[in-house]
Structure formats: structure tokens, C-alpha cells
Amino acid sequence: MSGLVKTIVSIITVGIAGLILFGAISYLHRVEKTGYLLLIPDNQLNLIRWTIGLHGLSAFILILFSSILIFGKIENSWPEIHKKIGKTTIFLSIIILIPTGYILSFLNTSGEKASVLFTILTTLCLITLVNGWRKIRSGDQMSHHIWMKRYYILLTSAIWLRINMFIAFVFFTPNQDIYFYCALLSWVPQLIVYEFWEGHFRI
């Protein structure tokens, strides 16, 4: 992938993540229960608002940072900056993104299948992140890159979910099954393609 293509992909990815952030932050100051909030019990309303807001904010920052690390390739030219961004990525993921991901998985209103799927996604985010951190701590840069690319694919599932929902809802009536398949297709095929592309699996 050329430098120009990487730059364009990064800009588009971060731009869409910014739109998701704007939508997430908007939940913090909504007075009336509209849209998704109509499905939330009143006693969970504040928790959901703040969880969505924090989850969206952390996801945007992490997608921005991860795009810089993966597409920018700054580990050789600016190793200290790379290290600081990496440490910040781990901190924000462990403290905000993953805990809020579990909360939203358990309190989601799209059925049990979606809850299980989002719980698996959040757990895989944790596993890939921890393994990426362990590998770089042991000096295994190649394995570190592989694990962090997996983490990035899982991280950008939020973007693919919105794209899938936009396409699906044009052709189908929104329901729990449609939402589940949109969520499933937001990271499972991408992860499988990556594993085959990198030669981790052979047909």
C-alpha cells in the first residue's frame, strides 16, 4: 500500500470516527428521550448517556492514535513519540474503551445475540491489546505489529457497523436480526481476510 493510499485511508477512517464521536457526545446533553434512548429504562438513562459519550470519545482518540502508529510508521523516525502514543493507547483502552464496551454490551437493546457478539468483540479487543503489549515488552516487534493490527481491525468495527447499517437500512426494515448481522459483518470478515492476507491461515 503506497504512502498516498495510506494517508487517504487514515483520513477517511478518522473522519468517519469523528462523525461517530459527534453522535456519541450528543447523547450527553439530550434532555428528551429520542431514538435509541426510548428503549432505555429511566433508571439507566444517565449511565447510558455517559457510557456512550465516553466510549465514543475514547474510540475516536484510539482510532486516531492507532492510524498514526500503523499507517504513519513512526517507530523508527520518532521512537519516543511512538512509545508515548502506544502507552496512551493502552491506558485509554483499559481505563475507558473496554469497560464502557462491556457496559454497552450488557445493556444493549438489540437482543441477546448482539449482547454476546459485542461481549466477544470487547474481549478480543482486550486480548489483542494485552498480547500486543506483551510482545513489545519482550522485544518481539513483528508479533507486536500483528497483534496491534488485529486490535485496529476490531477498533474500526464501530465504523464498519455504521456503514453496514446505512446500507442495510436502505434495503431492509430495521430489526434486531438486521442489526446483529450488521454488527457481525463489522469485524469478523475483516479479521478473517487479514489472517489469510498475512498468511496466518492456509487454504
Taking each helix axis from N to C terminus, what angle separates 157-171 and 176-184, rounded to the nearest 10 degrees? 140
Note whether 25 and 57 are within 8 A (CB).
yes
Q: Which residue has the cell 481505563?
A: 95
Residue 1 has pLDDT above 90, yes or no: no
pLDDT in the model for residue 172: 86
pLDDT in the model for residue 42: 72
More confident site: 14 or 87: 87
How buried is residue 87: exposed, middle or buried, by Cβ count under 10 Å (0-12/13-18/19+)? exposed
Residue 143 to residue 132: CA distance in whole angstroms: 7
Could you tell me the CA-to-CA distances from 99 to 58, 102, 103, 121 in Å, in that order?
11, 5, 6, 12
For 41-89, what is each residue's pLDDT tens digit?
777 777 888 888 889 889 888 988 888 888 877 777 888 988 999 999 9
Residue 154 to residue 121: CA distance in whole angstroms: 7
For 128-168, what is each residue's pLDDT tens digit?
999 999 999 998 989 999 999 999 999 999 889 988 988 99
How buried is residue 131: exposed, middle or buried, by Cβ count under 10 Å (0-12/13-18/19+)? middle
Listed by start position, the domains of the chain span 3-197
Cα angle vertex 167, ends 123, 108, to 5°?
35
Averaged confidence pLDDT in the chain: 84
Residue 203 has pLDDT above 50, yes or no: no
